[in-house]
Structures are given as C-alpha cells and as structure tokens.
Amino acid sequence: MRASQFLIATLKETPSDAEVISHQLMLRSGMVRKVASGLYNWLPAGLRTLRKVERIVREEMDRSGAQEVLMPAIQPAELWQESGRWEKYGPELLRVRDRHNREFCVGPTHEEVITDLVRNEIQSYKQLPANFYQIQTKFRDEVRPRFGIMRSREFIMKDAYSFHSNMDSLQQTYDLMHKTYCNIFDRIGLDYRPVLADNGSIGGNSSHEFHVLASSGEDDIAFSDSSDFAANIEMAEAIAPAGERAAPTAEMTLVDTPDAKTIAQLVEQHGLAIEQTIKTLFVKASEECEAEFIALLVRGDHDLNELKAEKLAQVAAPLEMAEEEAIKSLIGAGPGSLGPVNLPIPCIVDRTVAQMSDFGAGANIEGKHYFGINWDRDVALPEVADIRNVVEGDPSPCGTGTLSIKRGIEVGHIFQLGQQYAKALNATVLDENGKAVVMEMGCYGIGVTRVVASAIEQNYDDRGIIWPESIAPFSIALVALKYEKSEVVREQADKFYEELTSAGYEVILDDRPKVSPGAKMADMELMGIPHRVVISDRGIEAGTLEYKGRRDAEKQEIAIAELNDFISRTVKK
RNA sequence: CGGGGCAUAGCGCAGCCUGGUAGCGCAUCUGCUUUGGGAGCAGAGGGUCGUAGGUUCGAAUCCUGCUGCCCCGACCA
C-alpha cells in the first residue's frame, strides 16, 4: 500500500474525551473515529488490524473443528419470548419494530437463534457433538459506554455454541475451547490468563474468563504467587485464617462514638486498629428467613462479596441493601452504629470475623459502639460463611502460595450452559435408544474489537502504538524521504516495495509528497508499524538503508544489497 | 439510575463574569523556499457559537426548557 493512496488520519493532539491509552492512541493513530456514544467507524488502518484478529480467531476455531455460520443481527422477539429472556434481559436489549409492527431485537448474543437452528436441523445423537461459531456485530445498549471500543455498544464478537448429547461430550469440547482460546491469545501475542469465573444465573459446572492483564482493566483477578491458580475476585475463596481464635483479653465496654459514622472515622477517632473492627451490613433476607433482613458481618477493612452473599440460602437474590430508614425503624439506630451484640435479626459472619477477639462494633444504639467484644463470652457466634472479597496477601485457596491481585480486561469467556436454552426451546435429539433427550450446550465468546484495544493497553510507548507483529496493520514501513523529488530514492523505494510485496510482506510505502521526514517517521511510529526502513539520498550514496524495529533503541545501517536477506531473517510474514 | 461538568471552524481551546456583529494554535487550500525527527514565509477558505424559547434597541455572552457528550458513583454503614 502506498501511503499517498491510503487514509492516514493521524492527530497530533489527543482528543479531550479519551480517557484510556488505547482509546487515545486509536483516535490519534487514525484507527477509529467515534460516530455516537458507543458507536465507532473503523478506518482503513484499524480495520486491517481488526481483520487480522478475526483471521487468527477463525483459523484456530476452524482448526478445533468448529463450523462457521452467520446469523442475523436482528432477531425476532418470539425466540426471546420462548427462552424467557425477552422479559428478563432489561434495557440493554435494544428492541425495535418493523413496518408490520412486529417486535425484534438487535442481538446482544445468539443462544436463541442458534438453538432454534440446531433444533430444526439436528435430529440424531450421531450428528453430535457439533460446534457452530460466527464472527458478527453485536449490540448491547450499555448503561455507560466508555473507554472507546473497550466498552462500546456495538462491537464485534466471535461467539460459538456447542451441542452435545451428554455432559462428558460437553466437557470435552469445553476443554478443547479452553485450549483453542489459549492458542488464539498466544498467537496474537497477548499477556493473558484464563481465570475461574462465575457462571452467573445460568448454572453449569465450569466457567473461565480470559483476561488480558492491564492496569486499565475493569476486573480484579486474584493470582497465586506459586501456582497456576487464577480467579476472578468474585470467585476466589477467602479461606479461614489458620489457628485458633485468641482468648479474650479485654472487657466489653460501651463507648460513646457520636461522630463515628464510618469505619474510617471510628478508627481515626478512637485509636482502634481497622483489623479490630467489624462492619455490619443489612441486606434483604430470602423467604427462608423469618426476618425481613439479615445482617452480614465482615472485618472493617474487608469488602462484602456480593456474589458469595447472594448464594447464601438466607439472602435474597439479587442482593439488596437495606434502606437507611428501614434500619432505623427496625433497630432504632442508624447504619453507622450496627453490630452483632443485641441484634434482633439473624446474622451471618465472615470466616475472618469468626476468628476475631476483642473487636469493636456498633452497639445498635445510635452513636454508641462496643469495644472489646468477644464471641461466645459476649455474644453467641452466629453462622459462619465466606462472604468477603479476597485481598492481597490472603492464602491462595488452591493451598499453595499467597494471592496477589491484578487488573484484567475480559477478552474471552467460555462456559457450560447445560440444558437451559435447549430445554426452553425444546431442542432434543434421539439417543441410542430412540428416546428424545434435551441437548447439552456450551458457549464460547471472544470480544474481537476489545482484543484490539487490549493489545494496545499492553503495547505502547510515548510515541504511540506498538502492535504485536501478528496484528499490525502493516508489518514494514518503507519511509522514502523526498520521494517526489529524488529520482534515486524513488527508484530504490519502488523496487523494494515491489520486491517485498511480492515476497508476501505487508508493506506501507510512505511516498507522501511534501511531508517532512520527521512527520513520516512520527506517523509510522504512532501507527505502531513493527519494522521501519528509511530510504534516503544520503543512505543510497553510502550504499545503505536504515532499519529500526519499533521497540529498538538504536537504528542500524543495512547494505542495500542485503536488505532482502535482512528482512527475511528479521520480519515474520 | 444518582451526582458533577461540558457543548464556539475537522481537532485542541480562548471569548461569556461586565451584552455591542467571533478569535488563537494545529489541520486544510494556493504560491515560493525547505527535506534525516511532527519545516518557514506570504496569502486564502471554513463557524445557523448544540437546539427551542425568553429578556433586550442589540445575545456566543443573561434566564428557562430540551438534546447530545464526558467524568464520578451506583454494597463498603
């Protein structure tokens, strides 16, 4: 490609509303442009990268034996009503009507459509397992699109759905997809981790997210420092502290704490270590409980894990915190003064809390706390459960090592759906005995557009993007200085351009007239082209060209006669 | 959904407080010079000041509604 014939839409200044680095650099390098909130144009350079990601995904999916299909972006309401999700999905599902006033939605995902297809086309267990995938535009009407294409409303996703006559077969395909995803992210060249994830309300046995590690990530991932263990913080078990609970040393005393409405204030005003405090959270109780609310207790510096709490039988799902008014009318004290002593409602304490001695907590009297509380002596120890988020330094639940926590960008998610959709849509096959059985399903997604952004989050410097070679829009930038004026430069540049292109390299020849050397080089660096060759009068006179890799600190001089050899040694096709 | 902010040329911004016919840098176009790190000079084009209404002799500027966009929050007592 000749730069003079190619839209190089680079910007010197960073658009003011771009927050994260990938968004800034995709705008500055002319990869994308915003059309409206959460909607983007892909410009030629960006699209080349996007297509390369797609190609890698497609090749690896094909290699795994999956079959590519293409489903419509617009889906009839009937299928969603059949699965029950027309009601459940909420405002993220963009609903539209056609000219006959029939209802449709813009697909955020395709379980319904694929299940409908498969129930019509597959009748026998002999046709299973089957795995169908597509690479297609999705729409989710996000509450708050942000970070450019990282969380946009319209995005491209590779979604795959597998069908099975039994769970063993599902597990096999699931494992195969796990491996396939590792192959895909390895080939792209990302620093990523498969992590244990929640499978949400869907159920099923197993779920993994694939996270690209980057400080701008929106998820917290817990890792063991000495094993492969990695889990979304939502899922990481906080194991009970080792050893016995220390014996009481303090008397329980009632303390006036009129100005301590938060744990932070309590600690500051009364000289208590935060590890000696507990916080008491009131949440809606489930039908299982007699009371309307149930209290959950975690250590002052710990956070409640909503997902873990929701899974407790006594807690209503979805988790709902009590209103301040409701607490006051029930206890007579506000949220800042709650604690386990003389608590009139049921209570569940975190494992760590159960091991604490001589701790401070609200007295359930407005403006008062008890200090020196001890379980059993002062108040009976209630039911104990794991209800907090793990923190840095916790022992790993796998048994070896301690946990550290990093930020991740979720680029892939695989999970076992089981029979949820197949049952709702009555998707069955005949088994060996001629009996209809509901199919088991798995589903496997990769956020293709998000992969592009996350690659930048991991690979950039102060000059711009540094694409992994596998997905760079071009692999070699031939920068021809004074192309329009110098005949020798023009001849040499055209010659190399032809040779390298016909040898199969993706080359962009910067032949733009009247663009200064500095501007050409700055643009090629901003656009993240991995290899750069400069052709100039000065070099040709000396019989050399200058080569610089995008990550190299130093340029090197290459003899003109050596260039083709040098490139074939240095550049991956 | 709650809170905050912004909306003036393709991009980044000033002007608004204190009302008087819109400006700067980058980008674009023309010409000349320049060409190894985002060139210089000279000239040119480009704006219903988001939108609707109000106040006023006069509104980018003051007031009100609407729309769009951005940020923060949405368990953490």
Residues 58-87 of A with CB under 7 A from strand B: none
Mean pLDDT by 10 residues, chain A (573 residues): 94 86 93 89 95 98 97 95 90 90 94 96 97 95 87 94 96 96 97 84 71 89 89 88 90 89 83 89 83 89 87 81 81 85 91 93 90 94 92 90 91 92 96 96 95 94 95 97 95 97 97 95 97 96 96 96 96 88
Task: Please check whether strand B approaches the CB of A182 to within 7 Å.
Answer: no
* pLDDT score at A200: 57
Measure A521 CA to B43 C1' (Å). 30
A523 touches strand B (CB under 7 A): yes
SS3 A172: helix
Question: Could you give the C-alpha distances from A163 to A54, A172, A206, A555, A559, in angstroms and in order?
Answer: 23, 11, 16, 54, 58
C1' (B71) to CA (A484) span, angstroms: 47
A533 CB and strand B closer than 7 A: no
**Residues 446-465 of A with CB within 7 A of strand B:** 463
**Nucleotide closest to residue A479 (CA–C1'):** B36
Look at chain A and count its residues: 573
Q: How far is the CA of A14 from the C1' of B13 (A)?
A: 13
Would you give the distance in Å from CA A176 to the centre of its chain?
21
Contact A221, A231 (CB under 8 A): yes
Query: Strands (DSSP E) along A325-439, which ranges?
Result: 347-350, 359-365, 368-373, 383-385, 403-418, 428-430, 436-438
Asked if A421 and A85 count as a contact pair (C-beta separation under 8 A), the reply is: no
- Strand B reaches within 7 A of the A485 CB: yes
Query: Which residue is the nearest neighbor of B36, CA to C1'?
Result: A517
User: Would you say the C-alpha torsion A388, A390, A393, A396 has a positive or negative sign?
Assistant: positive
- Nucleotide with the nearest C1' to A389 CA: B76
CA nearest neighbour of A203 among A428, A418, A441: A418
Would you put residue A384 in left (φ > 0), alpha (ψ -120 to 50) or beta? Answer: beta
Q: Rounded to whole angstroms, how far apart are CA atoms A443 and A183?
A: 18
Say yes or no: Cβ of A362 under 7 A from any atom of strand B.
Answer: yes
Q: Are A109 and A93 in contact (CB under 8 A)?
A: no
A14 nearest nt, CA–C1': B12
Q: How deeply is A2 buried, as exposed, middle or buried, from its count of CB atoms within 10 A (0-12, 13-18, 19+)?
A: middle
Q: Report how far Cα A53 is from the mean position of its chain's Cα atoms.
A: 17
Quick check: A233 and A207 in contact, CB under 8 A? no
Q: Compute how many other C-beta atoms are within 10 angstroms of the C-beta atom of residue A186.
A: 13
Within A 256-275, residues with CB less than 7 Å from strand B: 261-264
DSSP state of A78: H
CA–C1' gap, A286 and B11, in angstroms: 55
Through-space separation of residue A36 CA and nucleotide B64 C1' in angstroms: 27
Q: From residue A362, give the alpha-carbon distance in Å to each of A261, A266, A274, A335, A349.
A: 10, 10, 14, 9, 15
Cα–Cα distance measured from residue A501 to residue A573, given in angstroms and rounded to the nearest whole number: 11
CB A341 within 8 A of CB A361: yes
Structure tokens at A193: 């981790």
Smallest CA–C1' separation from A23, nucleotide: B70
A165 touches strand B (CB under 7 A): no
Residue A461: count of CB within 10 angstroms of its CB = 11
Q: What is the CA A17 to C1' B16 distance in angstroms?
A: 23
Enumerate the β-bridge partners of residue A349.
A297, A384
Is residue A550 within 8 A of residue A570, CB to CB? The reply is no
Q: Are A410 and A210 in contact (CB under 8 A)?
A: yes
Distance between the alpha carbon (CA) of A17 and the C1' atom of B24, Å = 21
Q: Is the CB of A10 under 7 A from strand B?
A: yes
B35: residue with closest CA to C1': A516
With beta carbons less than 8 A apart as the criterion, state whether A278 and A361 touch.
yes
User: For residue range A443-461, what is the model confidence (pLDDT) as tens digits?
Assistant: 999 999 999 999 999 999 9
**A101 vs A118: CA distance, rounded Å:** 28
Distance in angstroms: CA A522, C1' B37: 7
Buried b (16+ CB within 10 A) or exposed e, A82-91: bbebbeebee
A108-131 burial: b if 16+ Cβ within 10 Å, else e: bbbbbbbbbbbbeebeebeebbbb
Note the pLDDT of residue A324. Answer: 78
Calpha distance A570→A452 (Å, rounded): 24
Distance CA A10 to C1' B23 in A: 26
CB A17 within 8 A of CB A147: no
- Which positions of chain B lie under 7 Å from any protein Cβ? 1, 11-13, 25-27, 33-39, 68-77
Q: Which of residues 377-416 of A touch strand B (CB under 7 A)?
A: 389
Q: What is the pLDDT of residue A199?
A: 66
Whole-number pLDDT of residue A556: 96
A536 touches strand B (CB under 7 A): yes
Distance B55 C1' – A37 CA (angstroms): 35
Q: What is the ipTM of this complex?
A: 0.91
Q: CA-to-C1' distance for A514 and B31, Å?
A: 14
DSSP state of A343: -
- Number of helical (H) and strand (E) elements in chain A, helices listed first: 16, 30
CA of A151 to C1' of B1 (A): 19
Residue A381: its pLDDT value, please?
93
Asked if strand B contacts A284 at the CB level, meaning under 7 A, the answer is no
Q: What residues does A263 pair with on adjacent strands? A: none
Please tell me the predicted confidence (pLDDT) of residue A205.
61
According to the model, what pLDDT value does residue A283 have? 87
User: Does residue A279 lie within 7 Å of nucleic acid chain B, judged by its CB?
Assistant: yes
Say which nucleotide is closest to residue A338, CA to C1' distance.
Answer: B77
pLDDT at position A37 = 85
pLDDT of residue A379: 93
Q: Is the pTM of this model over 0.80?
A: yes
**CA of A148 and C1' of B4: distance in angstroms?**
21
Give yes or no for a contact between A441 and A2, defined as CB atoms under 8 angstroms apart: no
